[in-house]
Amino acid sequence: MTQFISYVIPVMVLLILVSGVFRKVKCFDSFIVGAKEGATTIVKLLPSLVGLIVAISVFRASGALDILVSFLHPVTSFLGLDDALVPFLIMRPVSGSGSLALLADIFKTYGADSKAGMIASVMMGSTETILYTLTVYTQNTRIRKTPNVLTAALVASFVSAFYAGVFISLIFGI
């Protein structure tokens, strides 16, 4: 199986080149045009991404995340979520790398097989970095009216988190 996987990318490249030759497409020129468009997209997205990363860093370093966790404690305890999951739940829609770091902290503190570890794992796999995704898509498509999309995405993310806890409790009896 490992040997098969090592041939997948070269075979895909070969199929693309053969397809291009049969369709009489200048493959290298098309590649250059695509690379140029990709570089232009990166230049357009960079300011938004840098701003998002700085905002996340300031939010965590200022202690605002800890204040928000303590403020949300009554709600999360009512929903049956551990306090350890609150920073992860807040960070997941904002930052993939930040939520991955928090996931590693949950694993280190509580263990990967703990209820908090399992719920965080399901949340990591079933939710999206919404603000990053919206930033990328709206910058690329020039869509400016996103409140309904953002609201729907955040609601879906929090519903997913709630059901992650429900299903982990049902499946593992924790």
pLDDT in tens, 54-96: 877 787 789 887 888 888 888 877 777 788 888 888 888 887 8
Q: According to the model, what pLDDT value does residue 174 have?
A: 75
For 95, 115, 146, the CA distances from 150, given in Å and listed in that order, are 15, 29, 6
Q: Judge whether 8 lies within some domain.
A: no
Q: Are 92 and 127 in contact (CB under 8 A)?
A: yes
Give the contacts of 170 (CB within 8 A, at least 6 positions apart): none
Is the full-model pTM beyond 0.85? no
Query: Identity (one letter) of the amino acid at 168?
Result: I
Range of the domain at 136: 27-172
Q: According to the model, what pLDDT value does residue 33 have?
A: 92
In the predicted model, residues of the chain with pLDDT beneath 50 are none
Distance CA 87, CA 48 (A): 23
Q: Judge whether 22 lies within some domain.
A: no
Q: Judge whether 20 lies within some domain.
A: no
Query: Identity (one letter) of the amino acid at 99?
Result: S
End-to-end Cα, the chain, rounded Å: 37
How many distinct structural domains can be found in the chain? 1
Q: According to the model, what pLDDT value does residue 32 have?
A: 93
CA angle (52 as vertex; 50, 58 as ends), nearest 5: 100
Q: According to the model, what pLDDT value does residue 1 have?
A: 63
Q: According to the model, what pLDDT value does residue 112 have?
A: 92
Helices marked H in 23-146 — which ranges? 27-61, 64-79, 85-91, 96-110, 115-126, 130-141
